[in-house]
Chains A and B, each alone.
Chain A
């Protein structure tokens, strides 16, 4: 993730710049597909995210191969047939919190936010908007959001044999605890 690396490098090299940045490298992004035939859940526990508390710029990135499934075969099919993770190793969200001025980073509490931006998955970029919540507690920020993505929108083809096992809309849950970046 070149951009995250650049932001963080700037943050550590320019003093006074860093205090506006919050960062994590073990955020949890999971997805859930529910059909009468089968429920499928996968978790990625190593998402990287950076939030700029001043501008509201928010960025997430995950490696597709780092999603953990219960069943080995599902994990294999997900990587090889659906998201083609060797060809498209990463999924990235680049966007912003539109109402960042409503969030008081110096005061603990829950702040409802509106997030919008572009998500890139399987080589396809789509605009998304979702409500979310930022929870401030001291120097930590919890970011939570739930939204739906459709595999079709990202040119992910699902063979007809398994079509009834995979939902048309996949629920994505983001739960990441970001910490203030210190020099």
Chain B
């Protein structure tokens, strides 16, 4: 009886440790199957965020947004990812979206094209920033 108890406890500990290890090692997940909490145009997102940054941080930052807009610039980043700038009412700034090929199977859109993408809003730094973007 005592042996059985010790054995069960050992198994439980082993399972707990492996779950913990698995959780700890888990890579950053794709947003593909996650729901967006806001949908709209890059122009509206930029205007709403810049109108009131404090309120904008509450509404957008940390949330998944689905944004449509025109690509006004495409940049190659230091890794294999690229960054798109989507249009806004501002002459320079807009919505900056980082596209990581590890989450996307389609090619990066070119300048001038219309896109619809889903990304995690990380805040505003002159541009409104979206990370881990998935091109729809």
Contacts and interface: CB of A to CB of B under 8 A. Distances in A.
Given A71-B24, A73-B23, A89-B123, A65 B61 contact: yes
B57 A89 contact: yes
Contacts of A68: 28, 131
A113 interface: no
Contacts, number: 88
30 contacts: A12-B91, A25-B85, A25-B96, A25-B127, A26-B78, A43-B78, A43-B79, A45-B77, A45-B83, A46-B125, A46-B129, A61-B125, A61-B126, A62-B125, A63-B123, A63-B124, A65-B61, A65-B123, A65-B131, A66-B122, A66-B125, A66-B129, A70-B28, A71-B27, A75-B28, A86-B61, A89-B57, A89-B61, A90-B123, A90-B125
B27 A70 contact: yes
A28 B123 contact: no
Interface stretch (A1-9, A123-131, A147-155): A1-9
A45 B78 CA distance: 7
Contact of A25 (B27, B75, B124): B75
Interface of B: 23-29, 57, 61-62, 75, 77-79, 81, 83, 85, 91-93, 96, 98, 120, 122-127, 129, 131
Contacts of B79: 28, 43, 45
Interface residues of A, number: 29
Given A72-B28, A175-B78, 17 more contacts: A1-B126, A9-B92, A26-B83, A43-B78, A43-B79, A45-B81, A46-B83, A46-B96, A62-B125, A63-B123, A65-B61, A65-B120, A65-B123, A66-B125, A66-B131, A71-B27, A75-B28
A71 B77 contact: no
A48 interface: yes
Nearest to B75: A26
Contacts of A82: none
A45 B98 contact: yes
A69 interface: yes
